Amino acid sequence: MSVLKSKEFTIDGLSGSYVLAMDDLFRVVGVYKDGNILNPAFDEWTDAVLSDESKVIRATYKGVAGESMSLVEPEVSSEFYNTESKKIENREQAQALIGSSVVQRSPLYAERPSFASPGAVRYSRSAATSTMAYPIDINESQDHLKISRYAYKRTSVNQSGPDGTSAGDLKGTLILPMPKVSDSNGAEWGESDLNVFGIAAAGVYSSMINSTQQTTIGGLFNQLGQDFSKAKQFLDAAAPGATGIMGSIIASQAVKNIGITVSPDELLARATGNIANPNAELLFQGPVLRDFGFSFLMVARSAPEGKMIRKIIKFLKEGAAPRYLDTNTALLGTPDIFRLRYSSKKLNFFHDMALRTITVDYAPDGYWSAYDDSQPIALVMNLQFTEIKPVYDKDHRKTAEDSVGF
Please write the tens of the pLDDT for every residue from 337-382: 999 999 988 898 999 999 999 999 999 888 888 888 889 989 999 9
The more confident residue out of 242 and 83 is: 83
pLDDT computed for residue 309 by the predictor: 94
Worst-scoring range by mean pLDDT, 201-215, 227-241, 259-273, 348-362? 227-241
pLDDT confidence of residue 200: 53
369, 104 Cβ separation under 8 angstroms: no
DSSP 3-72: -EEPPPB--TTS-S-EEEEE-TT--EEEEEETTEEPPTTSHHHHHHHTSHHHHHHHHHHHS-TTPPP-B-
Banded model confidence at residue 107, pLDDT cuts 50, 70, 90: very low
The whole-number pLDDT of residue 175 equals 92
Which whole number is the average pLDDT over 263-277?
66
Confidence of residue 206 (pLDDT cuts 50, 70, 90): low
- 59 has pLDDT over 60: yes
Residues 1-32 have pLDDT tens digits of 678 888 888 988 888 889 888 887 788 888 88
User: What is d(CA 2, CA 21) in angstroms, rounded to the nearest whole number?
Assistant: 10
pLDDT at residue 140 in the model: 79
pLDDT-derived band at 290, boundaries 50, 70, 90: very high
Q: What percent of the chain has pLDDT over 90?
A: 19
Average pLDDT of every residue of the chain: 76
Confidence of residue 177 (pLDDT cuts 50, 70, 90): very high
Strands 323-324 vs 4-5: parallel, antiparallel or unpaired: unpaired
What's the mean pLDDT in 282-306?
A: 90
Specify the pLDDT at position 83: 81
Q: Which residues contact 75 (CB under 8 A, 6 or more apart)?
A: none
Mean pLDDT across the stretch 91-108? 50
Supply the pLDDT for residue 380.
93
SS3 270: helix
Confidence check: pLDDT of 167 > 50? yes
Q: Is the pLDDT of residue 211 over 60?
A: no
The answer on pLDDT for 112 being more than 80 is no
Angle between helices 264-272 and 239-256 (to 10 degrees): 120
Q: What is the band of 301 on the pLDDT scale with cuts at 50, 70, 90?
A: confident
Specify the pLDDT at position 81: 85
Q: How confident is the model at residue 402 (pLDDT cuts 50, 70, 90)?
A: confident
pLDDT over 70 percentage in the chain: 66
Contact 88, 36 (CB under 8 A): yes
- Please say if the pLDDT value at position 102 is more than 60: no
Which pLDDT belongs to residue 296? 93
Residue type, 54: S
Start-end of H helices in 293-352: 303-320
